[in-house]
Structure 1
């Protein structure tokens, strides 16, 4: 405790008692005679820099150089005025003396002529602009002081710059400043002196715009597509020309659009137009219309004297890029460094790299910038105070530009200046539930709400007390929804599941859901129902196939009377025990291909013909839809014709379908009556009598 009190006393005493040494020598004083508005150059103003010692008093001393009459002014100020009545014009000696209780110290002597320390008022000037120069006219006050003119210093700069350019020791009168930027506002200021005197203070700043000329160079044109790479989301953007290239006031831009269908259009944009198609902010401008179906674009800037050459940009097609290249990001609030590896070998067609960043969710033209680097470079740097916001995602992309202007997108990555904890997932639910497994479905956190790079989604499953399983699900890029299947669950049990996103800083807020798995009994009943329905479907398919292969009336054609397949199939159906089940869907109307009509001859002619050894049969053919032929003649002629045409076998098939005894008698009766004029019937069977028209009916038609 005693040591503490002693130290406190020493700390208090030492500063107050630090006066044991005499003061240091004061610096050399500076003296001048400033002139007022009325050109009353009278009093001498002297000043010097203060000394660090406390409790020191200062005094200013002066005397004529050839006299020993000393004058003194005492005080503690560092700026003293010597009134005109206390000195005579000529050579003076001035010094400063410092004094404290331990002694005194004297500064070096300042020796000068009073006329040499006269400081006139700043000159008045006027400016005249020429094409690439400005002429300055000076109006000094030296003549009013009856002093000869001295020299001047002239300073100038482009308006807004911090650095002044200077021309010194300029003769008063008129002076021309050459090599100024055309069409640019420049600031000027001047200070002058009278002969051998001090130079005045700087005059007020005067500004003037140099004469405009056509802008030089070309615009740096690029496109802002937001986070996506779709051309429908892109707008063309460019950086404003620097002052040394603008050569005047840029009054507008010309944008030429070349579409994929080989058409083009020209748009003239002006900041003054009310349509709002041009938006400019800080050092960038952009055309607000999207570049949908645009293949390339060109932009030029113009002023009252002319326009720049057109800058072309080819719009890259998303999805065409194949050579992906990884990029590495180092990012804080003030600086972004992007690095990559050069391809091997380096292509001769490569012109340069373009590195860009885009703040997620920001409108076009905001939170966006790009730089161009040489093709041999492997690093791009964005530097600026407070350029990147905290917890905000920025998409950084790397592009190549060929010598022909073709742009290719190589790679993109998301970066954060400072990462934070992510928000919860927007939605989370159990998509499907079974007895031993379930499927979880959740919506991915939007990029502008992630607050950091999401490393994975963490799923925690709880069942009863102290039973917990944890799953880490990797993030799939560019997915709106994520799914995960929980396996090896117990049937009929209740579970609670929660999900949260995890960044490098830590996990975010949980989202919860509850579910109960199905029982085994319900699951087995469902399998039995599905199996039964499947067997029933198979049986129906087999049954329908069998019927389709045995049902003859599924055919759309009805056989002719000479060889009816229907009768033949009916015979098989009689022998088939299952044929009665197969019911035809429909039976179309039969079509008769060819009908032979036998014209009966008059009785006298018939009697004469009967006497011949070779009876003559006169026939007439009636052709139907199918164009086939059939002859009805006497027995010998019918057999010969049928044998020659290959129809004998068909007639035999037909005869087998008729009952043998009854049909044979009927056939003999028909043959005997073939030439009978009283009946005039054809050789027909019972089937033909039922379905086919008679010869007279055909003739009547």
Structure 2
């Protein structure tokens, strides 16, 4: 039904309101104050002022461009209004007066009520309560008024009851009313109306006996043992049937098959130890409907000793001298009570250690030793669990093949292929990279399973798994899975690195990204190197590496930076580092030394040739220093020319004498030397500590190239009691008799030389001894 106000009466009403001074203006709608949704209409304002006028809508108010109807009235056209809106008007010269305004509501007319449903609950022997509810249809966005009409029939007596319900929204309306137990039949229907229209439902007839049900039972507190609970039931009226249901936490309701009956005390004997059970009940007459469910009551069953062994696993960190025993908290079906403590025993030929740990503990560290077993028990108030034994020292066996990990948004699945040998059980691990001990997740599976599913994983976290196959107690194979992540993106950060220059090489070391910045599984690190002279190179290394040596860089100044990558892309660049590569002076020196050694070796090889050796010897003599004494021009040679009878005056100097002492305190020794000419000549050597004077009678030719004598015997005159014998060797073969010459050659082998080549050119046989050069004093003649 569409409501519309006539324009004429509206103007008259506005004029009356303005004349009595209630408002500065009057507002009304051409369609009324309640309109169907989507309506188009006009909103009018009539003013008592002649100044500028305005129309607003909404909250807070928004000004609109209006149209003029006459000198006192303006209006605004509204198109497709879909919600209740507030409209207001004001006059510029009367701002002190209250503006006029009005809410215009929108909605739908009511639908016909349907799905009427009535239940007859008998609470007393004399009367019962009828509850009727119905579906009021779609939400009209308006206040709806419902009228429930009930016609009763008791024998031949009829009655009419009426109940009013007002509500807004789409909630299912309902009405409760009391009727006598003598009423056999009722007829019900509903009338609905709102500002836009009205509707009525069809009539529904009920036989109250068919709709009758008892009140819900009342349950007492259960009395429970470890396997059974007894529940007491109270009811206001006797019923024919009683049903009790029970469930443990987070399980579905189950009906005890022995609970259906009329007994007021029920025993439920299909329960588990140490469980919190909830109970509820309902009842039914021999006719009608089941009652509503009673309120729930709860109770714990008593404890029993644990029924099964714990799940135990052992973790060993490489390089550590200890191992960590892990175990899982047993579920209630195994624990059968509240765990009070755990017992850990380490047994070996050299160690037997038993320790009790608290019920909150899930791990215990034991020393690492050979040939031992670890056993763990759980205790509750009724006893202890069977032992769970594990040995950490396995014999390596054939690992599993085709171990594969896959991930979705909430779980990781690890699967594998069954081994050829028959497995006893599997242990499957799942852990994030660089995990802490409490982040390790593991599960024991029987030999028939080939898949393990771990739920509740974190996004942007890299996980890795491992599968252990037990062929018997200590014969174990292991294989790792690939790395996976539920969600991935490019890394948020870059590695922190350091560079160290060693010659023309640089060693780059870095730290792995923190887990919060990896955003998945790192696939590689990339090192970028650029030189000032145009060199550019990058190096990719695996995710497990933290060091790279870059070799054979040319002298330059280099810039280095790094990035990390996942399967989704490369992360941001790190800070840049600069390092110089300098010229290697040690290498140049080494090369020079190598060249010098090669040249020396080359010269030594050349000197093996006699011609070359002769050339070197001549060159060596040319380079001899001038200070080398010449025996022909020595003082000894000159004095020899003055001795007519072949006598020599030899001046001996003590080692501590000075040059002045040589002239003043000279010890003169007369030596008679017998010469024998020979065609062989040799260079004599001179002793700088002795000044030798030749006799003037000596032959000049002989003096210039004196023949080598076998020995010279001298006797000092400085001592009367002690005779000192000096041996002065002429360093070479002299002129002597044939027998003497052969004997001298056999006893002499020393020849001083200034060159390594002279030794080979001048060779003598024999060995020089003191007996060979001893001087006979009988040959000395005093001058």
Which residue is 1:63 aligned to? 152
Structure 1 residues 503 and 571, CA gap change in structure 2 (3 angstroms): farther
Match of 2:241 among 131, 142, 151: 151
1:510 equivalent in alignment to 2:686: no
Q: Is the 8 A contact 2:508 2:549 kept in 1?
A: yes
Match of 1:97 among 190, 195, 207: 190
- Bigger CA radius of gyration: 2
Which residue is 1:108 aligned to? 204
Which residue is 1:79 aligned to? 174
1:204-215 aligned at under 5 Å gives the runs: 204-215=295-306
Structure 1 residues 528 and 662, CA gap change in structure 2 (3 angstroms): closer
* Unpaired segments ≥5 residues, structure 1: 143-147, 272-277, 280-285, 540-569, 581-653, 666-701
Q: How many residues align?
A: 516
* More strand as a share of residues: 2
1:216-255 aligned at under 5 Å gives the runs: 216-224=307-315, 228=317, 232=321, 234-255=323-344
Structure 1 residues 414 and 577, CA gap change in structure 2 (3 angstroms): farther
1:592-611 aligned at under 5 Å gives the runs: none
Q: Distance in 2 between matches of 1:141 and 1:231?
A: 73
Q: Is the 8 A contact 1:189 1:205 kept in 2?
A: yes
Q: Distance in 2 between matches of 1:170 and 1:291?
A: 63
Q: Is the 8 A contact 1:27 1:107 kept in 2?
A: no
Q: Secondary structure at the match of 2:430?
A: strand
Deviation at 1:347, TM superposition (A): 0.8
Structure 1 residues 486 and 117, CA gap change in structure 2 (3 angstroms): farther
Structure 1 residues 120 and 316, CA gap change in structure 2 (3 angstroms): same
1:457 equivalent in alignment to 2:525: yes
Backbone CA RMSD of aligned residues: 4.5
Which residue is 1:347 aligned to? 421
Q: Secondary structure at the match of 1:403?
A: coil
Structure 1 residues 53 and 471, CA gap change in structure 2 (3 angstroms): closer
Greater RCO (Cα-Cα under 8 Å, separation 6 or more):
1
Deviation at 1:375, TM superposition (A): 4.1
Q: Distance in 1 between matches of 2:535 and 2:772?
A: 91
Q: Secondary structure at the match of 2:365?
A: coil
Structure 1 residues 533 and 154, CA gap change in structure 2 (3 angstroms): farther
1:26 equivalent in alignment to 2:94: no
Q: Distance in 2 between matches of 1:476 and 1:535?
A: 52
Match of 1:388 among 440, 445, 457: 457
Deviation at 1:177, TM superposition (A): 0.6
Which residue is 1:674 aligned to? none
For residues 442-484 of structure 1, give each alpha carbon's deviation from its aligned partner in whole angstroms, at most 9, with x where no partner exists. 224157364433322222233348x46232322163x443323
Which residue is 2:549 aligned to? 483
For residues 27-47 of structure 1, give each alpha carbon's deviation from its aligned partner in whole angstroms, at most 9, with x where no partner exists. 1422234749xx996643322
Q: Distance in 1 between matches of 2:134 and 2:551?
A: 85
Give the TM-score taking structure 2 as reference length.
Answer: 0.56
Deviation at 1:573, TM superposition (A): 6.7
* More helix as a share of residues: 1
1:330 equivalent in alignment to 2:406: yes
Structure 1 residues 469 and 341, CA gap change in structure 2 (3 angstroms): farther
Q: Is the 8 A contact 1:353 1:401 kept in 2?
A: yes
* Unpaired segments ≥5 residues, structure 2: 1-37, 41-77, 84-104, 168-172, 604-745, 757-765, 778-783
Which residue is 1:140 aligned to? 235
Q: Secondary structure at the match of 1:474?
A: strand
Q: Is the 8 A contact 2:404 2:414 kept in 1?
A: yes
Deviation at 1:94, TM superposition (A): 3.4
Give the TM-score taking structure 1 as reference length.
Answer: 0.62
Match of 2:220 among 125, 129, 135: 125
Q: Distance in 2 between matches of 1:199 and 1:660?
A: 149
1:383-532 aligned at under 5 Å gives the runs: 383=455, 387-422=456-491, 423-434=493-504, 438-445=505-512, 448=515, 450-464=518-532, 467=534, 469-475=536-542, 477=544, 479-485=545-551, 487=553, 489=554, 491=555, 493-508=556-571, 509-519=573-583, 523-525=587-589, 527-528=591-592
Structure 1 residues 660 and 239, CA gap change in structure 2 (3 angstroms): closer
Structure 1 residues 412 and 165, CA gap change in structure 2 (3 angstroms): same
Structure 1 residues 313 and 107, CA gap change in structure 2 (3 angstroms): farther
Q: Secondary structure at the match of 1:454?
A: coil
Which residue is 2:750 aligned to? 574
